[in-house]
Structure 1
Amino acid sequence: GAAAGLPSAERTRALGSRGICYLGIAAIAWGTVTRVEVGAWTYHYSDRGDYNWDQARNYCQTFFTDLVAIQNKQEIEYLNNTLPFHGRYYWIGIRKLGGTWTWVGTKKALTKEAENWASGEPNNRRSNQDCVEIYIKRKHESGKWNDEPCKLKKKALCYQASCQPFSCSQRGECVETIGSYRCECYPGFHGPECEDVVKCTELQPEGARMNCSHPYGDFSYNSTCVFGCQEGFERRGANMLQCLASQKWSADTPTCTAITCPVLREPDRGQMNCSHLHGVFAFGSMCAFSCQTGFALKGSESRECTTTGAWTGDAPQCEAITCPVLREPDRGEMKCSHLHGDFAFSSTCAFSCQAGFVLTGSENLECMATGTWTADAPQCEAVTCPVLREPDWGKMNCSHLHGHFAFGSTCAFSCQTGFVLTGLGSRECTVTGTWTGDAPRCEAITCPVLREPDRGKMNCSHLYGDFAFGSTCAFSCQTGFALMGSESRECTATRNWTGDVPRCEATTCPVLKEPDWGKMNCSHLHGDFAFGSTCAFSCQTGFVLTGSENLECVATGTWTADAPQCEAIPCPVLREPDQGEMNCSHLHRHFAFGSTCGFSCQAGFVLTGSESRACTAMGIWTGDTPRCEAIKCPAVAIPKMGQAACSHFHGDFTFGSTCAFSCQTGFLLTGSESRECTATGTWTGNTPQCRAISCPGLDPPSRGQLSCSHAYGNFTYNSTCTFSCEEGFVRMGAEVLWCAATGNWTRHPPVCAEDGAPFLKQVLAYSSGTALGLAGVVLSGTLIAILAKRLSDRDEKKKLLNPTSDLGSPGTFTNAAYDANL
């Protein structure tokens, strides 16, 4: 049974796994193994190491199918009898998902009848015991299940499924059975491998188009047929039929009939002529419409019954042809008679005018069948008077009731500003066609006579007479004097001059002020800061004058230069130190006399130099230039049997430096894996150390001795232990064990067995610990002699090729296999 479940020889060596075939055939002969492959459900487990549940499932899915899914009590009994005892037991494929115990391989919930829990299980014990182990060869309740935390490490118990991706023709669910499988077919399929499909009757619709898709054969299960009708016809019945698993179609076969439109009627005073292709007023019917003389068709001249069951266009009507609406002429009257509607075909209208107006055009009009009147509409026009003109220097404003300068028109007259009207202010056009009154005139207004100012001159121009409306006079002053008042004056329509009486005064310059941090001394000839004034300027200590020291007010009213200023003496611009900050206050301007700057450093740095500096009257700074230097930490110590990798940002072992620590193979780091130099000059974390990895402690075998050497401590990495047995006992297992970097011994500890047969002692001692699996095998004296000779020859070659190997090939019994059988 064990041989039949094993993978290939190469895979066995690579994975270190064992297989157990639930149903299989194997024949064993000394020196060779004959294997008979069967397509059956097989079991496998790992013997090289223990895994947590997720690692165990990954192992099973990588090399087999999944963690084992137990189907019945017989399988549990078989597994318990066949698998070797392991103190931590075996993981199986059950896990709590969403609060439900679930077979992870099939994603099906564990049923009550399939449960195989040990008494009192599952109990969870408040530690997330969401995974399941099986007790194998346990003293109590062997073969039962127990819930455990998924992080614990146990053996992985796997299975190789007999179902393949194309089992059941992909038309049913493949169900594993002992040694085989069965197919549960999906609806619509049947047969041992679900290879047969259900068929429906072939469809043959009349008068309808049909488009079918047949995924499993013509008119078979899941065949779908879509039906449609020609344009202008509508379907009676379902638009799609599907072949069901019951061998029947989902509905009856549909039919097509022509679409009908509403019945039409001919319009009043009109006619209708129709033709019908598929029935009276049905799809394709056409109707044409017309009207009597004097009437016009409103709407569609022809209409067609469409595929939607509606007529094209709008319902037509016959309406009397209309003429444009007529209006009574201004100052006239109109009388009309209407036979078929207002201003429609056959309507007539008569026109007349009021007294004082005359009619131009026809007195009578009639609306014709063409929609036009027999003539244009007449008008009533008023009597006209001669055209008037506005007076010189004046304006005329007219209102015309019945036309320009016609009966009822009135004109009002006015003069331009500065002129006065002589004559009538308005005139009117009378019934006789003449104006009332005589034509008016406009004459200019006069102002008082003007005189030129002292120390100045006057120049005048007169448009309409001396010092009359429109006269202007310009004024000017001698050099050094400015005109106060209006430079020019004009005679207005109010008989007054514009502006004020002008006078000549000495020119003034802008008032000067003492500059900040300075003094000013002035002298004035013609008034404060006027033409001829002079000013001298000076500055206080620590300031320098920018601009002219002396200014004079000239005849143009400006100073000979811009006003000077006193500016603070500057110092060189300062910069904040690297990794530091600078805070300055400026009394007069940036980095000038009176400015002060304070300096500080960022966390992890210390200031060297002056903490503050001031700009003096000499333009230089007090103190020395400051710097920020990184705070230092003590150099780190490299742990024994370890390494350190450091990075330095601001200098060796200074603020910001970081060091990462690691250990050599076989050692574990205790303390901080990385440390950083802080702003206080100390390192974060604790000093790391490298300690040797420990293996489980070993005891001398019963009836034997143990001798060990320890390089780094009792039973730690690189420790070696040698085993020997008392007289009369033989060692079964490795002679020397070595503690590896994984924390495990290279092999299982040996045992001392009683020397029952001298020839067996010789064979076992000579084979360097190779054990023979003797379960169920009866050896004769001849076979033992042959076996001893072959093992002796084989182990001699094995020592030469690989002195440390303890792994057998397929068909031989290895130490590991022997240990498992114990």
Structure 2
Amino acid sequence: MGSTVGLRSSPRAWGCGWNVARLLCFAAICWVLGTQMEVGAWTYHYGNKSDYSWELARNFCRSFYTDLVAIQNQGEIVYLNKVLPRHRTYYWIGIRKINNVWTWVGTNKALTKEAENWANKEPNNKGKNQDCVEIYIKRDRDAGRWNDENCQKKKRALCYQASCQRSSCSQRGECVETIGNYSCDCYPGFYGPECEHVVRCKNLDPRPDCSHPLGEFSYNSTCKFQCQEGFELQGLDTLQCLASGNWTAAAPECTAVKCPALATLGRGQLNCTHWHGHFTYNSTCTFSCEMGFVRNGSETLACTALGQWTVRPPLCEAVKCPVLDSPGRGRLNCTHWHGDFTYNSTCAFSCETGFVRNGSETLECTALGQWTGHPPRCEAVKCPVLAASERGRLNCTHWHGDFTYNSTCAFSCETGFVRNGSETVECTALGQWTGHSPRCEAVKCPVLDSPGRGQLNCTHWHGDFTYNSTCAFSCETGFVRNGSETLECTALGQWTGRLPRCEAVKCPVLAASERGRLNCTHWHGDFTYNSTCAFSCETGFVRNGSETVECTALGQWTGHSPRCEAVKCPVLDSPGRGRLNCTHWHGDFTYNSTCAFSCEMGFVRNGSETLECTALGQWTGRLPRCEVMRCPKLRDLEPILMNCSHPLESFSYGSVCRFRCTQGYFLNGTSRVQCQPDGHWSDKMPACQEEAAPYFKQVLLYMGGGAVALVALLLTGMFIALLIKRLSNKEEEKTLLNPTSNLGAPGVFTNAAFDSNF
């Protein structure tokens, strides 16, 4: 089907938009052209059976692997150019022109200028559907560079395979690539190796109306509470299960609705029944009155679910008779016992000189609310009845009855009309008026014209631009009227307002956001109808919102003002055996943030000391590692016996080696060395020297008896020295072999020596 290659990936440097976790990769054991090699990365694969068009090549990669490869950096290009076999048609990669933009198909992100890797004079844009991209492998020139090609041409497919899949982490967490596998960083409210479990909250009882999108009484469950009619909720009406496993608040309670307390009325009694507490929901109260008084209102009141009585409390009032007035040219004298014109009230009538009473002299209010007779009248002389003229009004003052003696009538015209004739006439003692009725004529107003950007529509009832003429003004789309919509000709010959103007609709004034710029075009005035404003951000910041807004005819912008937010880089963690110290100017791990790395004693940094977050959302270098310091490796060399302990790694910081010699040799030098933080051993390598007794025997035989005495003397001294040395070596050997020694557990002795560079 295909072959596989591997590559150790470094943090992205070309702005391809891939996750940093993917760039850190996972450890993979790959077969490269039949040879097994171990690398730390996702794996690369290529088809070695057939050539495909670009679409078929991508289908091949997505069927057996993840997708067509996305080239991350120059290091990968060098490696792929080295390990991939040369093929006459070269290889397809995962970039294509979409809507005239070169786009990475795996992430649907546009190719940035910084990430371009075109060969010389490419892309050449010959206009022959060259919308796909190949990579030159082992080409004489431009090796590893790109070339745009016709998508229907046949080439090898170059694919990659990742650990994380769409189904990873149950789609409830962030899938993070790890060495040889992946781990799940669960979203709030979820837990478990695959984020398969949901946090639960305590069950609510009695059960309210709930929705459980993720399981009964679990994270994001929402419960709504409501009370029966006549009861009200004490507490929140809606609770939600939080990611912490707690509800947003305690469960509420229902209490009966209260009505205002009632009091016993004067001249009456109150009798109440309470079911849920004094004057609460469903309480009923009955009212009654003393003899001689009647209830004004309902007999029974009930407290409703709204906390209100069904009606207002009644009153106990004395029986009333109709109110009496003094007759014209007459007088009224009354006595009231329980209120004006009530039960037992009495009234006496009299008339002025020249007027006579027509009716009873005295009336009394009975228990039935009726007077004992009809009220009398005092009548005067009458004049002929008058009527208002057309478009006029008649206002009369009648002192002794309609159109009677001393009645006066004033004539006026309706609004917008003026009188032509006498204003006032009076009824004389002879029953005649002092003058004739006048006429009413309409008032005129100034002629009006249409305003600019507007129209005028008038209605005339009594002649052009006269009283009651109305003129309506309207404006074109995008303009609003400044002034009255309608003017009317008043009775004073003036319009009800000034001639209006048509002004462009205004939108709220816009201002550039922090770290942003604003560029506007105004056609009818600042921030008015048809004005357009474009927003942009400073380097290192990206726009969150619309790029351009326009002021509509409704006085609203077509979108909200965007914000400029600092570009974010991937979050960094301290390396093992190391420390991370960061400075953030615009937010954690954002544009211009700098992070410095350092290692513990005995460890050295492998990588950049300082990283900086660039405007492209990338760090300026790769995340360093802290590696243990190593001392020169010790090698086997008889007759030295060596026992070493390695708490970290072989012959590294903290390693300790102890030495002794085999039988017949004594140790010349230190018996113990330790690897120090600077990568050097604490002392030089010792040596084993042969004991001297066998040597002196041969000398004696050669020299004869003449030298025996001298040799004996020398041997005696050397013997004593060797004996002391031997005893010292035996004590050291006991120490090395003793399990309870403070030098460490016993080990197997081997022949050893330092490397030649020790």
Which interval holds the TM-score relative to the shorter structure? 0.3 to 0.5
Query: What is the TM-score normalised by the length of structure 2?
Result: 0.37
Query: Which is greater in Rg?
Result: 1
Higher relative contact order (CA 8 A, sep 6+): 2
With structure 1 as the length reference, what TM-score do the two structures score? 0.34
